[in-house]
Amino acid sequence: MVFPERFSNLPEYAFPRLRRLLDAHEPGADPIVMTIGEPKHPFPDWVGDVLAGSLEGFNRYPDNNGVAPLRHAITGWAKKRYGLELDPDRHVLPLNGTREGLFNACLALCPETKNGKRPAVLMPNPFYQVYAVAALAVGAEPVYVPATDATGNLPDYAALPADVLDRVTVAYICSPANPQGAVASRDYWKDLIALAERHDFQIFADECYSEIYRDTPPPGALEVAHAVGAHPERVVIFHSLSKRSNLPGLRSGFAAGGPASIAQLKQLRSYAGAPLPEPLQAVATRAWSDEDHVIASRARYQAKYDIADAVLGDVQGYKPPEAGFFLWLPVQDAEQATLKLWKDTGVRVLPGHYLAREVNGMTPGSDRIRVAMVVEEEELQRGLSRLRDCLYG
C-alpha cells in the first residue's frame, strides 16, 4: 500500500500530543481543563425552539449555497458590524464550520504555479493548523512567519524576501490572533493589503474571534480593503458562530469576498462540499440576526480579562490579551511547565509550540503556554491562582 507523501511530515496533532504528555500522570487536584478553545458559556435559549420548528428540513438535501434567509442574515450582520454592502447571492457562502472554508478556499483559489514556480502560502507561526494542511494539499510551500513579541505577535510578511513574495498566492492571517490575542490594526491591514496588491496574492483573514474583545471592536480585513479601494478579490474573510454565539457544535460559519472568489468556492462545494443541514441553517440565521446573546457573552469574557489581570498582572512578561479568550503566558520550557502544572495542581493547558513549526532552529511558543479562558468565572479564578502559585510563586 502506497500513501501520499504530502502529509507525511505533519507532526502529531496538538491534542493527541498533549494527551500523550499528560494522561499517564494523575492530576494533582480536581482537574481544571483550559486547553481547547471550546466556549462553555450557554448558547442562546431559543436554539432548541428554532431547531424543533425546522425539523422537516432533515427530510431534504440542504442547499449547497446556503438558504436565502441565512445569506441575508449574514450580509445584514456584515453591514451592521463593518458597514459592508455585500450581495447575499454573490459575496457570501455559508460554511459547514469555518475550518472547512479555510481549507477549501486554498483548494479553490490557490493556483498550481505562480510566475512559473511553486506557489508559497504564508501563515503566522504559531498558527491554526489547518493553514499548513491546506497549503500542502495544493502542493504549495508553507512559509511559517514568526508572530512573536518582536513582531507585535502578528506576522511581518513585508520582511520576507522579494523572491518569496513574488511566489505567494495566499497569506493566512488570524485577527484577533490565536493564540496571542493580538489585534491587527487598520494600519496593519492597510499595509498588508498594499503588500498583497504589489505582489498579487490573496489574503485569507480568519476573524473567528472578532466578537470577543476588551473595549474596541477589532477592524475587519474586508472592511479596510473596501475603504482603500483594493482589488475586489484581494481579501476573503472567514467568520464563525462557534466563538461568537457559543455554538461550536453547530459547525456554522461563512466566507465573504469578491464574486469571482465566492463563485470558485461554490463550484468546489457543488462537487465536494458538505453544506449545513437546513434545520441548523435556521439556527444560524437566527444567531446572525441577534446581538443580545453576543453582548452578554462578551461581558463575561471582559470580566474574565479582569480576573486574569488581577491574578497574573504582577507576573513578569504577562501581556493582557487585546481580544479572544486565550492567555499566552511566558515559561522557561512549555512542556515541562505544562506537565508540572498538571501533576501539581490539576490545571490542564497547552504547550505553545504544539501550535508552531521549527524554522531555522527556532520554534515560537516553546517558552509559552496557551490557556483557554472558557470555564466558569469562579473556576477560572481558581485555575489561574493555582497556575500562578505553581509556575510563578
DSSP of 39-108, one letter per residue?
A: --SPPPTTHHHHHHTTGGGGGSPPPTT--HHHHHHHHHHHHHHH-----TTTTEEEESSHHHHHHHHHHH
Cβ distance 163 to 213 under 8 Å? Answer: no
Helix, coil or strand: residue 130: helix
300-338 residue pLDDT tens: 999 999 999 999 999 999 999 999 999 999 999 999 999
The C-alpha atoms of residue 264 and residue 261 are separated, in whole angstroms, by 5
pLDDT at site 273: 81
- Give the pLDDT of residue 166: 98
Phi-psi region at 213: left, alpha or beta (left = phi > 0; alpha = psi -120 to 50):
beta
Instruction: Dig out the grid coordinates for 112 from the structure.
Output: 498550481
Domains in the chain, start-ordered, CATH in brackets? Answer: 14-42+293-391 (3.90.1150.10), 47-290 (3.40.640.10)
Whether residue 197 is predicted with pLDDT greater than 90 in this model: the reply is yes
Phi/psi for 162 (5° steps) reads -60, -35
* pLDDT recorded at residue 25: 98
Mean pLDDT of the chain: 97
Q: Quick: pLDDT tens for 93-147.
A: 999 999 999 999 999 999 999 999 999 999 999 999 999 999 999 999 999 999 9
**Per-residue pLDDT tens for 220-242?**
999 999 999 999 999 999 999 99
**Does 390 score more than 90 pLDDT?**
yes
Tell me the CA end-to-end span of the chain in Å, nearest whole number. Answer: 54
Q: Rounded to whole angstroms, how far apart are CA atoms 36 and 350? A: 8
The CA distance from 307 to 325, in Å, is 12
- Confidence band (pLDDT; 50, 70, 90) for 8? confident
Q: Please tell me the predicted confidence (pLDDT) of residue 314.
A: 96
Total residue length of the chain? 393
333-377 pLDDT per residue, tens: 999 999 999 999 999 999 999 999 999 999 999 999 999 999 999
CB proximity list for 180: less than 8 A, separation 6 or greater:
147, 153, 321, 326, 328
Residue 299 confidence class, pLDDT cut points 50, 70, 90: very high
Cβ-count burial 334-348 (b if 16+ within 10 Å, e if not): bbebbeebbeebbbb
Radius of gyration of the chain (CA): 21
Residue with grid cell 491554526, as numbered in its chain = 128
pLDDT exceeds 90 at position 215: yes
pLDDT-derived band at 171 (thresholds 50, 70, 90) equals: very high
Give the residue from 104, 124, 118 showing the smallest Cα distance to 175.
124
pLDDT for 96: 94
pLDDT score, position 4: 85
Residue type for position 235: V
| Claim: this prediction has a pTM higher than 0.95 | yes
- Rounded to an integer, the average pLDDT of 80-95 is 98
At 6, the pLDDT band (50, 70, 90 cuts) reads confident
